[in-house]
Structure 1
């Protein structure tokens, strides 16, 4: 049974979900594991095992299907040609591009199945405090991020053209049409998959054990950063984006802002590589690129927080204290107070197994109240 707070309400968390004398708690995104009345500290560890096992299985199946497809279209020696030097793989080869990006997409069904097995429920709590993906907010954040990146990289290109005279004419890679289709269809899913794992699962796992959001935001950053193979400036750029994405997930109550930032970054970078204006295989960066990342991401964070306030995006999930067990007699059980202006779940079938009314759990329920 859950209540959803009025947008941008106060954030609080009374800690132990087993307390019977506490009132409703306002849980921020990183503490949503405590929305589960069956929460236990070890459950995220089992969830990780289930996720790893499922991801390994689906990745092996995908790898076999992909290899068969490549050999059937390019010949029996195609794999030997592609992997003659694994460190020199051409990311802009359509087959390699699909293999690298779609193998990450497979983390989505793996982590969702692990959450379905271990909870908390609904599974959508992995996405936001509302238990679902807030598509309208995602569209707005993506529009903001794309605008910032297009204007930013456009300004850099104009500077190179007017001052340095180094901007070359676009030279689309071979198979540009296939690459473009995958940039539109596969890259956003790849970004969403990474956010589900690093800003969803990991953020909420740390939040199950530690109350302060700073630890939930920062502790997953090294794992995300060193999953990329760049020099120190490139790794710094990745770390900055990870911190901003984690902070926005906590501040806006969901993954939409993080997904929007990640999608804009990867789509713009891969498109630049596809037209020959960036090296897709480069592992070296510069302090200028790192500085641009800081500027882009900080501007994005400021604009998104203002956008969330303007549109009243919910940033906490209100979870009432569990009803105490009946100890004898047939008297009514006191209900936990409801925050003013909150939306109350009306009970089954909307909230299977729980009632949201006053008195005994089987009592008839009042009509739901919506936010004004």
Structure 2
């Protein structure tokens, strides 16, 4: 049920229920794939999502706290939360708590979507109703290549200006962190994309047709969820815009997930190696320019590759079939439940002999030898 036509190409309007033609829905308009779409459904979905997430977070917090006390002693919680002024993110226990708590947004949001629709719930992932693993893999390779080149160039400039960089100094619990960087961080990135580029884009798209609103309106929510200075917040905002554009332009979350995963994995890996301070809240305009350049280059390469490979960017949604009307009596040329034309039909029998009786008008009984009347 997909088409490779571009979302900005010709097609029937995507928000006219009475239009009998199939509609081509871009990603941000997939809420209209549900024939029972109502403007208030995303708000109820948000309430359900919040309730499910709160329950999961409480259960996870209890399990995490018990596990921490069993492994480190009964005073571990006091040492972590009452001791230092800030949490030590590179502490494996803190790292797991912070990142995995965000992963819980995935089951919470999918459960809310399964209740409220549209279905399948996989429409949160792409216009095909599923995660396109092959496309995701190609996007990951492109992002790795772009970030490798970008960081190598930044390292050469730093070497030329400041001399040799500091040697790696792995933090305590390094291998535990590596395991979580590989297993948990990608899920954390996917969870944030599912919420900020999935749910929010499609929610705005239910109310506003133009994609620019769906891309830009969620940006402040994502940006101010991070604690950075002005330059750092601008870098986060640029990433949010690029990820939103890619989601709309490629018809799914795969490119945005790949960009987010590579960005976060490299950042946390540098922190685990002691090459960067993961708690730092200050940035610079140079870091903003470098990160923005890598993200824009990634977007350009992915959009070109998606166009060459014919990646689906819209979903074809057919209008619901008109209801079949009950008729009583003989209908010329028709075949009812009781047999061919000319036979008796009981009241309430279903028949659709074609226009003008169907669709849109009730077929009237035709006088004849086969007509029965109710007493």
8 Å contact kept, 2:14–2:25: no
- Correspondence for 2:367: none
| 2: CA distance, partners of 1:139 / 1:223 | 28
1:8–1:312 Cα contact (<8 Å) kept = no
Aligned to 1:63: 61
What is the match of residue 15 of structure 2? 16
Equivalent residue in structure 1 for 2:234, among 233, 236, 241: 236
**Contact 1:14–1:22 at 8 Å: present in 2 too?**
no
Q: Distance in 2 between matches of 1:186 and 1:196?
A: 15
- Show CA shifts across 1:287-326 (max 9, x none): 1111111101110110000110121100000111222223
Shift in Å at residue 17 of structure 1? 4.8
Cross-structure match for 2:220: 222
Q: CA RMSD in A?
A: 1.6
Deviations 1:147-202, CA, capped at 9 Å, x for gaps:
11121112212222233115101101111100000000000000000000000000
Name the residue aligned to 1:110.
Answer: 108
Tell me the distance in 1 between the aligned counterparts of 2:10 and 2:111: 30
Match of 1:54 in 2: 52
Map 1:20-59 to 2 at 5 A: 21-59=19-57
Distance 1:87 1:201, change over 3 A: farther
Change (3 A) 1:287 1:333: farther
Partner of 1:73: 71
**Does 2:353 correspond to 1:331?**
yes
Question: Could you give the per-residue CA deviations for residues 317-352 of structure 1, whole angstroms, max 9, x where no partner exists?
Answer: 011122222356522479xxxxxxxxxxxxxxxxxx
Contact 1:326 1:333 in 2 (8 A): no
Q: 1:139 aligns with which of 134, 137, 140?
A: 137
- Cα separation, 1, equivalents of 2:80 and 2:260: 28
Deviations, residues 186-235 of structure 1 (Å, cap 9, x unaligned)? 00000000000000000000000000000000000000000111111000
Instruction: Compute the displacement of 1:59 (Å).
Output: 0.3
Structure-2 residue corresponding to 1:342 = none
The answer to whether the 8 Å contact 1:127/1:196 transfers is: yes
Distance in 2 (alpha carbons) for counterparts of 1:231 and 1:85: 25
1:203 to 201, 204, 224: 201
Q: Is the 8 A contact 1:13 1:27 kept in 2?
A: no
Distance 2:203 2:355 in 1: 33
Structure 1-normalised TM-score? 0.86
- Summarize the alignment of residues 135-284 of structure 1 with structure 2, pairs less than 5 Å apart: 135-284=133-282
Answer whether contact 1:24 1:319 (CA < 8 A) is retained.
Answer: yes
Alpha carbons of structure 1 residues 11 and 214: separation in structure 2 relative to 1, 3 Å: farther
Residue number in structure 2 paired with 1:321: 319
Q: What per-residue deviation string (whole Å, max 9, x for no partner) do you get for residues 270-290 of structure 1?
A: 111111111010111111111
Alignment partner, residue 6 of structure 1: 4
Match of 2:192, SS state, is: helix
Q: After the TM superposition, which residues 121-132 of structure 1 pair with which residues of structure 2 at under 5 Å, given as runs? A: 121-132=119-130
How many Å separate the matches in 2 of 1:95 and 1:207?
39
Instruction: Give yes or no for contact 1:246–1:258 (8 Å, CA) kept in 2.
Output: yes
Is 1:97 aligned with 2:119? no
Structure 1 residues 46 and 333 mapped into 2: Cα distance closer, same or farther (>3 Å)? farther
Aligned residue for 2:300? 302
CA 1:45–1:13 in structure 2 vs 1: closer, same or farther (change >3 Å)? farther
C-alpha contact (below 8 Å) 1:17/1:34 kept by paired residues: no
Q: What are the Cα deviations for residues 239-262 of structure 1, in whole angstroms up to 9, with x where unaligned?
A: 000000000000000000000000
- Consecutive unaligned residues of structure 2, counting only runs of 5 or more, are 328-350, 357-375
Could you tell me how far apart the structure 1 residues matched to 2:146 and 2:232 are? 20
Distance in 1 (CA, whole Å) between partners of 2:277 and 2:187 is 22
- Higher RCO (CA 8 Å, separation ≥ 6 residues): 1
Once superposed, which parts of structure 1, at least 4 consecutive aligned residues long, lie more than 4 Å away?
none
